[in-house]
């Protein structure tokens, strides 16, 4: 099996490149290494590989955004199999799917390769795709503000990257204006008022290790919608800690449904994310369909682990 590493040098606030320089010294099998040069480049490179007939293992060396782009490119191909080495900041992909911890694990996979057909989430008729989750509201606003923050670069340089995240959590907690969400699935229609956020998940984790959707499975043909609504700021803070264990779902203010498709309508224009990266804003009062794509992608089948060691 051919092996291609796709390395995002800026992932993990630039740590991915240093990690790759050490990692490649440990590889004892033939491989090709390609570096991404800008957002969207991984998808372009992988789409061009659809003509390959030889089974090819694509290893995303980066974070959740890099993996989403590789998967968007690989979807629909029967010869491309996607694996990862966690080298991003949040690395939720490795928690919900799989991640090679070292070169020996890749070598072991190559000796008896197998794959799982996985679901790909999409909305806006496939204009946006996601492997792990896509969200509307509070969490999306925080990730957009953090990514756009001029302070992010220099705080990362001095190793205080988490501080900028914490600052924007507090700022958004104070400033955030709730919204109304209408969820339609089949003939059912449900209205949620005072919503903080709504997340459509294909795997349990988001936000760097929070178990937002404990029952999500990557290959069951379903997506789970989690809506957090009608909560005071204080209760949101109290519930926050329970998200790491997945026990937040006990609260009546956290609603979950599981379906292959939903239509979501929001009463104002607010930020969205796909796998933690900015994905425009919601249209006002216009239904957007979130669905499992008809195209599947193939993940490297190594033992599924919940947490990266």
Ligand X SMILES: Nc1ncnc2c1ncn2[C@@H]1O[C@H](COP(=O)(O)OP(=O)(O)OP(=O)(O)O)[C@@H](O)[C@H]1O
The residue ranges that bind ligand X (CB under 6 A) are 8-12, 36-39, 41, 62-66, 69, 88-91, 276-277
CB of 259 to ligand X, least distance (A): 26
- Say how far apart CA 151 and CA 162 lie, in whole Å: 12
Distance separating alpha carbons of residues 120 and 279, to the nearest angstrom: 16
Non-local (6+) Cβ contacts of 18 within 8 A are: none
Residue number with CB closer to ligand X (213 or 255): 213
The contacts of residue 309 (CB under 8 Å, 6+ apart) are 101
Helix (H, G, I), strand (E, B) or coil at 106: helix
- CA dihedral (122, 126, 127, 131) positive or negative: positive
CB of 9 to ligand X, least distance (A): 6
Q: Taking Cα atoms as reference points, which of 94, 82, 84 lies closest to residue 208? A: 94
Q: Whole-number minimum distance, CB 216 to ligand X, in Å?
A: 18
Nearer to ligand X, 112 or 127 (CB): 127
Sort strands 115-118 and 121-123 into parallel, antiparallel or unpaired: unpaired
State in angstroms the smallest separation of the CB of 247 from ligand X. Answer: 24
- Please, which residue, 16 or 302, has the CB nearer to ligand X? 16
Toward ligand X, which CB reaches closer, 253 or 277?
A: 277
DSSP-assigned beta bridge partners for residue 191 = 182
Is 178 strand, coil or helix? coil
Q: Do 59 and 106 contact (CB within 8 A), yes or no? A: yes
Name the minimum Å distance from CB 107 to ligand X. 24
Write out the two tokens for 1: 């099996």
Residue closer to ligand X, measured from CB, 46 or 266: 46
Judged by beta carbon, residue 41 or residue 263, the one nearer ligand X is: 41
Smallest separation, CB 17 to ligand X (Å): 10
């Amino acid at each position: 099996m051919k092996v291609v590493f796709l390395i995002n040098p800026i992932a993990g606030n630039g740590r991915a490149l240093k990690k790759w320089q050490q990692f490649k010294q440990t590889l004892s099998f033939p491989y090709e290494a390609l570096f991404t040069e800008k957002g969207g480049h991984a998808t372009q490179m992988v789409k061009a590989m659809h003509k390959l007939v030889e089974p090819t293992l694509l290893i995303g060396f980066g974070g959740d955004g890099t993996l989403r782009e590789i998967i968007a490119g690989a979807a629909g191909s029967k010869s491309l199999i996607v694996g990862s080495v966690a080298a991003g900041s949040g690395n939720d992909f490795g928690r919900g799917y799989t991640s090679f911890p070292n070169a020996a694990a890749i070598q072991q996979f190559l000796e008896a390769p197998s794959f799982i057909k996985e679901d790909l989430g999409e909305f806006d008729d496939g204009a946006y795709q996601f492997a792990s989750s896509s969200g509307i509201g509070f969490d999306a606003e925080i990730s957009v503000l953090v990514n756009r923050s001029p302070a992010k670069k220099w705080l990362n340089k001095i190793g205080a990257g988490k501080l900028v995240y914490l600052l924007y959590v507090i700022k958004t907690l104070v400033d955030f204006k709730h919204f109304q969400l209408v969820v339609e699935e089949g003939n059912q229609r449900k209205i949620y008022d005072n919503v903080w956020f709504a997340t459509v998940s294909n795997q349990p984790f988001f936000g760097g290790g929070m178990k937002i959707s404990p029952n999500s499975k990557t290959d069951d043909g379903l997506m789970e919608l989690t809506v957090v609504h009608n909560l005071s700021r204080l209760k949101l803070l109290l519930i926050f800690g329970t998200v790491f264990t997945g026990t937040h779902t006990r609260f009546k203010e956290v609603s979950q449904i599981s379906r292959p498709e939903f239509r979501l309508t929001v009463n104002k224009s607010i930020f969205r994310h796909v796998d933690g990266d900015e994905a425009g804003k919601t249209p006002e009062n216009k239904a957007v369909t979130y669905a499992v794509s008809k195209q599947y992608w193939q993940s490297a089948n190594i033992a599924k682990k919940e947490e990266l060691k």
